[in-house]
């Protein structure tokens, strides 16, 4: 592999900065308000969006609520085990949540039914179906795809304060489109969209999530190795270019 990397190639034939083939299928879960299945090479992630009503967070009485959960299905990878969420699934959910929340993807102030009392609660559930590397990008793309095609059930408030669900749906109030771009460092090379084998060889991993305006809304580094300042600057340039390409190809009509 090291000889290939030195020549600018990878085991699967890609260049160092190339993504695997990305496929996005929307509306794959009939009973969800929104859903998407993303395939990134052999990595497959399903996201479902459910929307219910509930009480707002005490410190955000005039905003809706967002909850992101991730589940690693045991059949996706030999080391995934059934049971409560482990640190890997919690970390993935946190990264997806941060990209959505910090970019203000959803206008949460428009998800209020009764200020301080009842709001919409958006549940984003991430399911890892097949793990061959770069779960963050696949999960992030599936989450934003599911949010973009989600339908918000309409509720009306009667004069007596009773909340009635109508037989009517409208799109979620979406105002941004965050795209995560993950890179790893192997020796002195930066690789985009690492496979599982490449992640296992890497000394460090960096995910940069960017808004539709090219602003960084989330950044996460993992691994025992380090990126130099010059490498981080270069990684930001790569992430801007790649996120723009993905947005243009898959989300042009929305953002």
Contact 186, 5 (CB under 8 A): yes
Q: 27: number of CA atoms within 13 Å, CB side?
A: 2
Give a yes or no: residue 60 inside a domain. yes
At 156, which CATH number?
Answer: 3.30.230.70
DSSP-assigned states of every residue in 231-247: HHHHHHHHHHHHHHHHH
When the pLDDT of each residue in the chain is averaged and rounded to a whole number, the result is 93
Chain CA centroid to CA 50, Å: 16
Please give the span between the terminal C-alpha atoms of the chain, in angstroms, as a whole number: 38
Residues β-bridged to residue 151? 171
Q: What is the largest CA-CA distance in the chain?
A: 73
pTM of this prediction? 0.93
Structural domain that includes position 94: 2-250
The H or E element spanning position 6 is helix 2-6
Please tell me the predicted confidence (pLDDT) of residue 199. 95
Summarize the confidence of residues 39-51 as an average pLDDT. Answer: 98
Overall domain count for the chain: 1
Summarize the confidence of residues 49-57 as an average pLDDT. Answer: 95
Give a yes or no: residue 103 inside a domain. yes
Give a yes or no: residue 255 inside a domain. no
pLDDT band at 203; cut points 50, 70, 90: very high
pLDDT digits (tens, 9 = 90+) for 79-95: 666 666 678 889 999 99
pLDDT digits (tens, 9 = 90+) for 178-188: 999 999 999 99
Tell whether the torsion through CA atoms of 128, 254, 165 and 93 is positive or negative.
Answer: positive
């Amino acid at each position: 592999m090291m000889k290939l990397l030195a020549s600018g190639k990878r085991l699967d034939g890609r260049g160092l900065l190339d993504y695997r083939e990305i496929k996005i299928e929307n509306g794959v879960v009939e009973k969800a308000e929104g859903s998407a299945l993303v395939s990134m090479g052999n990595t497959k992630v399903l996201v479902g969006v459910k929307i219910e009503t509930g009480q707002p967070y005490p410190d955000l009485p005039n905003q809706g609520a967002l909850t992101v959960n991730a589940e690693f299905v045991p059949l996706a990878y030999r080391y995934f085990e059934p049971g409560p969420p482990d640190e890997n699934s919690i970390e993935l959910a946190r990264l997806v949540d941060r990209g959505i929340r910090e970019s203000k993807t959803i206008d949460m102030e428009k998800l209020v039914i009764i200020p301080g009392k009842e709001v919409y609660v958006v549940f984003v559930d991430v399911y890892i179906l097949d793990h061959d590397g770069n779960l963050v990008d696949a999960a992030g793309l599936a989450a934003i795809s599911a949010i973009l095609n989600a339908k918000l059930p309409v509720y009306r408030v009667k004069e007596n304060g009773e909340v009635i669900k109508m037989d009517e749906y409208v799109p979620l109030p979406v105002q941004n489109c965050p795209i995560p771009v993950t890179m790893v460092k192997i020796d002195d090379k930066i690789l985009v969209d690492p496979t599982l084998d490449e992640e296992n060889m890497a000394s460090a991993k960096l995910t940069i999530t960017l808004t539709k305006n090219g602003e960084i809304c989330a950044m996460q580094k993992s691994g025992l190795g380090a990126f130099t300042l010059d490498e981080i600057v270069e990684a930001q340039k790569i992430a801007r270019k790649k996120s723009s390409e993905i947005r243009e190809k898959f989300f042009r009509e929305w953002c």
